Amino acid sequence: MRCTLAAILVAFLPVLASAQTASSRGDANADMAVNEADVTYLANHLLGTGPAAPRTCLADVNADGAATVADAFRLIDFVVGGGAPPSAQPAEICDGNDNDCDGLADDGFDLLTDSNNCGTCGTVCESNHSVNTCMSGQCSPTCTVGWVNSDGNLNNGCDTLLNTNPSCTSAVSIGSVSGDTFSGTITRSGTGEAWLRATIREDNSVGAVYLSAQMTLTAQSGVDYDLYVYCFTCTSSLAAFSTSG
């Protein structure tokens, strides 16, 4: 005798199965339980007499990526024959998909506060030289003392060490200005500590005029830097420094 899928299903309808969660494989009708009603629902769909499962991943009992006759027989084995329950749905991950088949994509991930998925899935607030938290969907690093975020990328924490303690012998020559005609300006910018060497020229050959120049340090708001000026050599006496006024 040749048995159809419908005949097999009808023969087993009186048997019940234990309740499952709403995202369990086999819950074809999405009523938060896996039982004989799901067998009928899935069979009607496969026979063309009923609607598809609200979510294909619920009807995909054997976890092969599709709802087919094989899923119906796998469901019968569980509901009627006391076979092993279908495999669990995968855990939800932040990727824009409904991985656990509960009808919601990326549920459980707060993109406004999740430091591993800040603003968008996969955006990590890296704690490089900082405590980097996610606030309102944007990384907000609090830098370790001496470090700053200088590249404008808040995701990577604090990337530049300001307190490098360079050696005076590493000073970079930045040119010269006239020390007695009071002309010429040299401007340099940078990040962190640095030694710079400037030459104060003698341009007036008539009379005795003291050579002089003005050194100015401008630092951005919230940054504490000091200017130290030495004359002649690295081992000479300190001529002036900004902390003394």
Confidence of residue 162 (pLDDT cuts 50, 70, 90): confident
- Residue 153 C-beta-side C-alpha neighbours within 13 Å: 11
Confidence (pLDDT) at 22: 61
Give the C-alpha separation, 58 to 63, whole Å: 9
The share of the chain scoring above pLDDT 90, in percent, equals 51
Q: Is the pLDDT of residue 130 over 90?
A: yes
User: How many residues can be counted in the chain?
Assistant: 245
Neighbours of 80 (CB within 10 A): 19
